[in-house]
Copies of this chain bind each other. A is one copy, B any other.
């Protein structure tokens, strides 16, 4: 088992100095053709590659991006990662992942771990718990140490950094307007509790759409799900709550749900209650997932372009890393990704 070869070993073998080897390998004009040939041939033979860690230390630059997300087993987030990875690799960076698992403390620990020299900058979507606690000290500390952060999707307006978000408000508004245009008179909303920034915005979009069409929103048509419970419990409760919603409001003919699972569950419950989709009930969900495409009937969705978000976030971060304009007064960008409606069979 031969360890990776180093400059020092090459130097010793060829009886030249380390710096000569280094220069020869970088094709420096300082070095004679002869020596270059010899060194390069030897290096090739032993498959020499500079040690990244040593380079990172020397250059104070790791060429690595840290991405912190709440959950990886989730279509949206894995697509974002794919986007980040794509751009990062193209631009010579690696990607290291940290999962917060929706926990504040894991988010903090993970960030601290990576911030100690392992990476050059962060791409982050914050955990639900962090959103609830509204404790953002770890972001501010990281940035004050000169490490840039790009937030995506779940962002915090108080934090001054670059951001990539989807146009949640208009996405939701368009969806609901679509339902109205399709003839729905009584549209229910299935959303999350308000501390989730995106849930809040989508709720707002729903309300604005109604207002545009002079429809009075009704509190009993808005179902706010508590998604802090564990997954299974949450799902069971979900079904019951939706069933309750339908039973108490027989006239519902449209559903807008802030995510895929809520929309599918609504369809499932509706079918159970004998409603036909899209004849009796039309449904639209907000998502970038796979379920919608393969459900029966196919679910019409507001597409979030997750991969594109990842790409934009990565570009934003790397641009910042490579410019490093030492302006005291930094200005930050917020990129808004427009959504679009993917129509399937759950709407007319």
Contact = CB atoms under 8 A, between A and B. Distances in A.
Interface of A: 1-4, 47, 49-54, 56-57, 62, 64, 72-75, 78-79, 81-82, 85, 89, 94-99, 110, 112-118, 141, 144-146, 261, 264, 268, 271, 290-291, 294-296
Contacts of A118: 52-53, 64, 94
Contact of A145 (B3, B53, B145): B3
A97 B79 CA distance: 14
Contacts of A52: 113, 116-118
B72 A99 contact: no
A81 B96 CA distance: 12
Contacts of A57: 51, 53-54, 57
A114 B117 CA distance: 17
Contacts of A56: 53
A3 B79 CA distance: 33
A274 to B, nearest CB: 15
A53 B290 contact: no
6 contacts: A49-B112, A52-B118, A53-B53, A74-B78, A81-B97, A85-B97
A325 to B, nearest CB: 12
Nearest to A95: B97
Given A52-B118, A94-B96, A3 B294 contact: no
B296 A268 contact: yes
A345 to B, nearest CB: 12
B50 A116 contact: yes
A318 to B, nearest CB: 16
